[in-house]
Amino acid sequence: MLLLILRESLNKPLQRLCSNSNAFKSLQLYLSDVNWKLLFYKCCKLRSLCITASLIPLFWIIIDILFDNLGGNPIQALHIRLGDWSMRFLWVTLAITPIQKITRWPGMSNYRQLFGLYAFFYASLHVLSYIWIDHALVWPMIVTDVAESSYIWFGVFAYIIILLLAITSPKSAKKRMGKAWKKLHRFIYPAAIAVIIHYFWQLKGNLLEPVFYAILIFILLAFRVAVWYKNRQLSRLMIPKGREIED
């Protein structure tokens, strides 16, 4: 879908870009030729499409509840599915920056926010289903369960971070927080690691699925490390130059 839109709005100018030899002129032509209006329009549509599509898992779960399709332990099945979807949306959120860097498409940070908020939405349902549907708000039992289940600690840690990120997600909050905003939102990385531990830590032996998600998150985080490393190399190259001038 995304690719299709990209191709549609960028293809024509790109062709011209290739055929023209004067780089500066072609760039000018390229920029003037991009159908910005169409691109914006399509993106708006894409955005609402993403908003609706992200609700499909929820409706799917509701239908499965209504048709008693959740198997022998529906409470656990519901709980696991909400958790799975929260994790998937978190992974998608973390995939936005690498995709943006690779495709150099600037309009994607909005999607990062959108999917991030969906990750928060499903995580909240996951927590709510644990407290209310599974434990029926019996607090002493919940407290004991959380205190004695180390795998839940990782889940709680991840949820607190995601909650803070969701609260500070509006643009106004971003403006008010200044540099602290970026610092806080970097906590999404430890949250993601906590999520994958939370997943692994509760299983008896069926590790195939968590391994799949662990590989995905490893790739997504490795991308950040690679970028950080590259930037460090660049800045290192620049330090000796500065010293030479001092000398």
Partner 1 sequence: MIIKTKKTIASSEITDPHLFKQRREIIKALLASAVSGSSISSAFAAREPDWKGLPKVDVLSKTEIPTPIKLVKNYTNYYEFTLNKEDSSHLAQSLKIDPWSVEISGEVENPLTLQLDDLLKPQTLQEYVYRLRCVEGWSMVVPWVGFPLASLLKRVKPLSTAKFVKFTSAHQPEAMHNTMLEWPYVEGLRIDEAVHPLTILAVGMYGETLPKQNGAPLRLVVPWKYGFKSIKAIVKIELLKNAPITTWNKYAGNEYGFYANVNPKVPHPRWSQNSERQIGSRFFTARRQTELFNGYGEQVASLYRDMDLVHFF
Query: How is residue 207 annotated by DSSP?
Result: -
Question: 145, exposed or middle or buried, with CB in 10 Å at 0-12, 13-18, 19+?
Answer: middle
Among 26, 100, 169, 202, binds partner 1 (CB under 8 A): 202
Closer residue to partner 1 in complex, CB, 49/207? 207
Is 135 a binding residue for partner 1 by CB under 8 A? The answer is yes
Task: Calculate the CA 67 to chain-centre distance.
Answer: 31
Residue 175 makes contact with partner 1 by CB under 8 A: no
Return left, alpha or beta for 34; rule: phi > 0 is left, psi -120 to 50 is alpha, else beta: beta
Q: How far is the CB of 147 from partner 1 (least distance, A)?
A: 8
Query: Which among 116-124, 165-173, 182-190, 198-206 is the span making contact with partner 1, rule CB under 8 A?
Result: 198-206
- Closer residue to partner 1 (CB): 76 or 168: 76
Residue 178, φ and ψ in degrees, nearest 5: 60, -125
* Cα 47 from Cα 113, distance rounded (Å): 11
Judged by CB under 8 A, the chain residues 47 through 106 that form the site for partner 1 are 71-76, 78
Q: Minimum CB separation from partner 1 for residue 188, in Å?
A: 25
Sole window of 54-62, 89-97, 118-126, 150-158 interacting with partner 1 (rule: CB under 8 A): 150-158
Backbone angles phi, psi at 135, to 5 degrees: -100, 0
Which of 51, 147, 167, 215 touches partner 1 (CB under 8 A)? 147
Our finding on whether 133 is near partner 1 (CB under 8 A) is yes
**Token digits of residue 63:** 């239908």
Residue among 104, 179, 204, 243 that touches partner 1 (CB under 8 A): 204
- Nearest-approach distance from CB 206 to partner 1, in angstroms: 4
* Residues contacting 161, CB < 8 A, separation 6+: 187, 188, 190, 191, 194
CB 173 within 8 Å of CB 123: no
Which range of residues in 8-16, 90-98, 141-149, 185-193 is near partner 1 by CB under 8 A?
A: 141-149
Residue placing its CB nearer to partner 1 in the complex, 115 or 130: 130
CA distance 88 to 106: 23
